[in-house]
Structure 1
Amino acid sequence: MADTMEMIDQSDISLLYPDADSLRRHSLGEDIARLSHETEEQLELSCLMDLKSCDFGSFYTSDPEVILYRQETFADMMANPSLIGILHKMIPFLNDITELRRMGSDSAASTEAYLYSITEVELYTSLLELLQTQLLPLAPNFKSAAFRKFAERINILTGSEYYRNLNDELKELTSRVREIKSITIGVNLDAQLRAERAGVLSINNDHFKSGELLDKMLRLNFKNDDMTCIAPLVSFRKGQSDNQQAALSNAFNGAINDVFKSSVRSWKKVIQLYVLENTDFLIRMMPEIEFVTKGTELLLKLKEAGCTLCNPVIEPMTEKTFRTKGLCNPIVTLKLNAPVVPNDFRFDEDGMIYVLTGPNRGGKSVITCAVGIAFVMAQLGLPVCADECTISPTDAIYTHFPTGSEDTIDKGRLGEECSRLGTIFEQVTEDSLVLLDESLSSTGSYEGAYIASEVLQGFSLVRCRGIFCTHLHDLAASVDSINETCLAKGGVKIDNLVAAIEEGSRSFKIKRMKPDGKSYARDIAEKYGLSIDKILKKIQTK
């Protein structure tokens, strides 16, 4: 068995991490990627996947090797969608094994532990049979290292002599235990006919039958029947107090434990040497199984809704690259169950931070979230909703969206907004992404624009990537002067984006240009007949 174990290291088998070292680094937080619960909520990531065992942050990574490894895993899942069902079927087995271990640890050397051990082995062999009959036939199709290693491991386990012997021994032990129907007890009495000592005489494969002494004496066919009682059978607990029931149960259990003691020891040794070792890696994979199955189901829904998916090209974090063509917001796509207006988007030396303005419901928040979700999906190892995408991972994503926080009671909304911005500045680095949606809109436009310009300067000097989605048109108009100050101090350049209006209607297209705040009002006024020319015409014709 030791030789078999050495053929493939089970610690290396993961659907999400290429080796034990990358898993260790992620567990210790050494791959420097942070996705807070607040960011998850504000980007509405639960609309993509409803994860039960872990949150998105548990899988968020900045390691290019890990991201590429996962891209291969999801490619295999998409090419072999029946894997979803196979992996789903594994979960009940693994949940039951986990629960049995918990229960068995409370009854270390009892008959209960013996029975738990047998059940655990039954679950283990049934699980391997499932994988042998359903997963291994797909193995020739696998291109990812994850599924190739997984299939190889299952092939080794199910093909080993130890596994075959385990199956044979399990059948024998199961049969032996399942056939036990009763026990015969011998009881010594004292002079007053009170029970003095008792012990197990035999373990039987048949049930005792209720009888009468007269039947036993008169009916010849009962005379040699050791399983028919000379008195009626009564309920085990009839006429007993709780203490008496507990005492009798303990006595029975103690006697049976003595009978099975050697079997418990030998069988537990089998569990410890083989089954525990070979189910640990499967139990560890449970959160990964949930993530890859739900991730694949998400991708299939997006494809069905007409969304284009692509695996992003991953560049070093220091490059701070983000270029997309045909970027879409997957949450809006799922809600509409139809393709949405795509946009091209990029961070570059002329714009690492954008001030995004435009009309209400013109797509500003949609594109802001789309950029954030693209980073999240890419760094989870998923394809992104775009025709093309090249990305340098972030070390964290920080969001500052409108919130109904209770802090507004004590601080006021503006105070609460400023407090949250201050917290972001305490953590943000040049490798972070910052997304602000209608920040500082709780105060007057003059005060809001002033504070916002200070905030923009701060992010520019941090040199992070970011989007500031706002109605503060004075802020957008002051981008040139902000750049003049920041560039002189080594900051990154800020640029403008506009949610375009075409012929008085929202186009949901995001354009890189300087905004003309009046143009939105002018187009809307024209559309609804409220330009001065049309107003005069209405007055003259009434």
Structure 2
Amino acid sequence: MPMKKLSLIDPPGAEGVHHKLPPEAQSDLSVDFICAEVSDKPAERALIKSLLTGNLTPDPRAVEYRCAIFEDVYRFPGLCERVQELLDKIDFLRSYGSFLKENEEASSLWELIHRLNEIGDYIVCIEELYDCLCGEELRSEGLCLLRDYVREIYEDSGFAHLKKDIAALKQDTERIRSVTLGVNLNERYEPNGVGIISVNSRSFQKTGIISNFCDFLGREDDIQDSLEVKPGAAIRAVKDENKLNRKKVLKPLIPTLPEDPESGDLMNVLDRVVSHMLAGTTKKLKRMLSEHVEISSYVITSLIPQFMFYVRFAAYIRKCRSQGFAFCRPQVSGEGARDMQAEGLYNLKLIKGASEGEGPASIVPNDLDFCAQHRLYILTGANRGGKTTLTQAVGIAFLLAQNGIFVPAQSFRFSPADNIFTHFPADENKTMDLGRLGEEAKRFRELYTQAGAHSLILLNESFSSTSFEEGFYIAYDVVKSLKLLGARTIYNTHMHKLAQQVDELNGTVESDSQAASLMMGDQSGSRSYKVHVAPPEGRSYAQDIARKYGVTFEQLTGRA
């Protein structure tokens, strides 16, 4: 059977060019939090995080391929849990079993029996995997390819022969209860050759090899001219082996063997005895393994982390949906569109707090549209009005959708990004050398040089660590550069003046992408957490803080 490349991440023929989510974005989008919600097992979390952040691609076909697989996994929870268990079992056999281990010497009887049992387990796994995948109406290309590959193994004539041969060998080996050895002696009664007389289906009832041999020496009529085993031959136990010692015996008649059948010494001696006899059998077995088991088990078990990734996310979303939270399958636009249309979008992180409190009703969803006229949003609004939450929600939605996972929204259509870049406030410990503003400027330049027109860029209160005049000067040039780049961007800022000058910015730089002002609603002094495309209300960040804490002139003097 030829080696095949199967993947639940990339479709056949895809280039498989992946980008890794930058560490800053992983932190700003709370990837660790998401992975902890999806799995409570540290090892699984690490695998989920690796796959979630390491396979970003702008290829619409690859993203659609993943979406279809995830939908199949979501549709058949029982099937997927069962398949996961079978894949884990095959992986265990491949990683820790002996039947694929290379051994230049002929295998022993005991190793052969272990291998037969392991291969028998492998055959059962393939048969059950075949039944699982063929028993459902799968729609996704990825799972159909896996099903067809397992069917090819199952229906291959070599697999049928392997199954038949293993069954026959197991039937024979399971009957083995004892081995009769023949020992050739020289004139001094020293062993100079050992061979197998018979392999028996019954156990000897007594032990004591030396005693048995000496009893035979004492009876002339029991010394045979042939190797035929006489009916009724018995093994006589020795009560006092010291009586067998003679002054002139220079060497023991045969190697002294412990009477414990599980002793390592006894096993080693028997191993050496039977190795030559079993050489042909084990060579045949190895040949069958190399043709069937090694290739197929490697291909199938390489899919285990990918399959587990989908299964765990499906279980998490199934639980959230049962509590009333909305999720949808992302729809993929054509390559190069650089768009996104979201309805009822919300931040995945809100689910935990909402489920412990008022439930889905406490979450305010939003509609958002990236297109040529609204490709760069300058988001303003009241302090603590939900700007950062919405900015992060967009990044999380893209990250999930890029991996084929259902998105927290009523509907979500997008063209995949080549990567997601974030520029959120840094930890103060990281700004000591350059100062906060210097660190922000350096980090943004690095981000800009890595990003492209197909990237998603999220900025949160960037360049707000200095005076308004200095911050505005830097932010104005940054927005012009982002508009020229053409990447989908949200710039969340308290600098309302920046949003007020959107028309001027659009006229300054020639580009196929336009900037727009996005306002986070504030109705009658209360937070609505709803966004709409509109000019800012004109109040500054300081004015908003003053109103919140009651220190405006009107509030302090009672003239409000």
- Shorter-chain TM-score bucket reads 0.7 to 0.9
Distance 1:271 1:530, change over 3 A: same
Deviation at 1:376, TM superposition (A): 1.9
The equivalent of 1:513 in structure 2 is 534
**Counterpart of 2:372?**
349
Match of 1:367 among 378, 382, 390: 390
Contact 2:20 2:53 in 1 (8 A): yes
User: Is residue 497 from structure 1 mapped to residue 518 from structure 2 by the alignment?
Assistant: yes
Provide the C-alpha distance between the structure 1 equivalents of 2:195 and 2:126, rounded to a whole number of angstroms.
41
C-alpha distance in 2 between matches for 1:82 and 1:62: 32
- For 1:459, the equivalent position in structure 2 comes to 482
Please report how far the alpha carbon of residue 525 of structure 1 lies from its aligned counterpart in structure 2 after TM superposition: 6.0
Query: For 1:176-207, what per-residue CA distance to the aligned partner results, in whole angstroms no more than 9, with x for missing partners?
Result: 33444444445566788776655555444445
Could you tell me which residue of structure 1 aligns to residue 124 of structure 2? Answer: 126
Partner of 1:77: 73
| 8 Å Cα contact 1:40-1:56 kept in structure 2 | no
Q: Which residue of structure 1 lines up, in the alignment, with residue 227 of structure 2? A: none
* Residue 536 (1) aligns with residue 534 (2): no
Distance in 1 (CA, whole Å) between partners of 2:441 and 2:550 is 40
Cα separation, 2, equivalents of 1:208 and 1:538: 108
Distance across 1 between alignment mates of 2:314 and 2:146: 18
Match of 2:47 among 52, 64, 77: 52
Which has the larger displacement, 356-365 or 32-41? 32-41
Give me the CA root mean square deviation.
3.8
Query: Could you say what secondary structure the match of 1:399 adopts?
Result: strand
Residues 133-152 of structure 1 correspond to what in structure 2 (within 5 A)?
A: 133-138=131-136, 141-152=137-148
Q: Distance in 1 between matches of 2:326 and 2:63?
A: 20
- Cα distance in 2 for partners of 1:226, 1:414 equals 94
Indicate how the Cα distance of structure 1 residues 444 and 532 shifts in structure 2: closer, same or farther if over 3 A, else same. Answer: closer
Relative distance call for 1:482 and 1:103 in structure 2 (3 A) is: farther
Which one is further off, 128-137 or 368-377? 128-137
| Whole-Å separation in 2 of the counterparts to 1:461 and 1:509 | 28
Quick check: which has more Rg, 1 or 2? 2
User: Which is further off, 266-275 or 395-404?
Assistant: 395-404
How has the CA–CA distance of structure 1 residues 80 and 17 changed in structure 2, closer, same or farther, with 3 Å as cutoff? same
Give distance in 1, aligned partners of 2:385 and 2:372. Answer: 26
Distance 2:51 2:149 in 1: 28
> Residues of 1 paired with 2:553 and 2:435: CA distance?
40
1:167 aligned residue? 163
Residues 107, 275 of structure 2: 8 Å contact kept: yes
Structure 2 unaligned spans of 5+? 39-44, 217-230, 242-256
Distance 1:413 1:522, change over 3 A: closer
Structure richer in helix, relative to its length: 1
Asked whether the 8 Å contact 1:302–1:330 carries over to 2, the reply is no
Determine the structure 1 residue equivalent to 2:453.
430
- Change in Cα spacing, 1:61 to 1:180, as seen in structure 2 (3 Å) is farther
3-state secondary structure, aligned to 2:285: helix
2:472 is equivalent to residue 449 of structure 1: yes
Secondary structure of 1:389's partner? strand
| Cα distance in structure 1, aligned partners of 2:112 and 2:505 | 74
Alignment partner, residue 305 of structure 2: 287
Kindly indicate whether the alpha-carbon contact (under 8 Å) linking 1:352 and 1:464 is maintained by their aligned counterparts in 2.
Answer: yes
Q: Secondary structure at the match of 1:498?
A: strand
Shift of 1:15: 4.0
The offset of 1:379, in angstroms, is 1.9
| Structure 2 residue aligned with 1:40 | 26
Cα distance in 2 for residues equivalent to 1:404 and 1:187: 79
**Match for 1:52: what amino acid?**
L
CA contact (8 A) 1:305 1:334 kept: no
Matches within 5 A, 1:311-460: 311-337=329-355, 338-339=359-360, 340-404=363-427, 407-460=430-483
CA distance in 1, matches of 2:78, 2:559: 66
Tell me: higher relative CO, structure 1 or 2? Use CA pairs within 8 A at least 6 residues apart: 2
Classify 1:457/1:65 alpha carbon distance in 2 versus 1 (closer, same or farther; 3 Å).
same
CA–CA distance in structure 1, aligned partners of residues 198 and 326 of structure 2: 71
**Aligned partners of 1:426, 1:94: CA distance in 2, in Å?**
45
Query: In the TM superposition, what is the alpha-carbon distance from 1:427 to its structure 2 partner?
Result: 1.2
Q: C-alpha separation between the residues in 2 aligned to 1:316 and 1:148?
A: 24
Amino acid in structure 2 at the alignment position of 1:78: Y
In structure 1, stretches of 5+ residues that fail to align are 218-222
Q: After TM superposition, give the deviation of residue 127 of structure 1 in Å.
A: 0.8
User: Structure 2: which amino acid aligns with 1:126?
Assistant: V
Give 1:96's aligned residue: 92
Cα deviations across residues 113-146 of structure 1 (Å, max 9, x unaligned)? 64564244223211123224444332xx333333
TM-score normalised per structure 2: 0.78
Q: Which letter maps to 1:404?
A: D
- The 1:253–1:422 alpha-carbon spacing in structure 2 relative to 1, beyond 3 Å, is farther
Alignment partner of 2:379: what SS? strand
Instruction: Give the Å deviation of 1:497.
Output: 1.9
Q: Which of 37-46 and 153-162 deviates more? A: 153-162
> Which AA in structure 1 matches 2:330?
P
In structure 1, the partner of 2:315 is: 297
Q: Which amino acid in 2 is paired with 1:424? A: L
**What is the one-letter code of the residue matched to 1:507?**
S
Cα distance in structure 2, aligned partners of 1:181 and 1:403: 71
Residues 504 and 524 in structure 1, CA contact (< 8 A), matched pair in contact too: no
User: 1:82, CA displacement in angstroms?
Assistant: 1.6
The change in CA–CA distance for 1:149 and 1:317 in structure 2 (over 3 A counts) is closer
Separation in 2, partners of 1:448, 1:274: 66
Partner of 1:518: helix, strand, or coil? Answer: coil
Rate the CA distance shift 1:131–1:103 in 2: closer, same or farther, 3 A: closer
Q: Closer, same or farther in 2 for the Cα pair 1:448/1:528, shift >3 Å?
A: closer
SS state of the match for residue 495, structure 1?
Answer: strand
* Alpha-carbon separation, structure 2, partners of 1:408 and 1:107: 58
Cα distance change, pair 287–203 in 1 and its aligned pair in 2 (3 A): same
Q: Which residue is equivalent to 2:294? A: 276
1:188-203 map, 5 Å: 198-203=194-199
> Which SS does the other structure have where 1:319 is aligned?
coil
Contact 1:326 1:386 in 2 (8 A): yes
CA distance in 2, matches of 1:421, 1:264: 63
User: Deviation string for 1:77-110 (max 9, x for gaps)?
Assistant: 3332222212221232222232146884343444
Q: How far apart in 1 are the matches of 2:338 and 2:552? A: 45
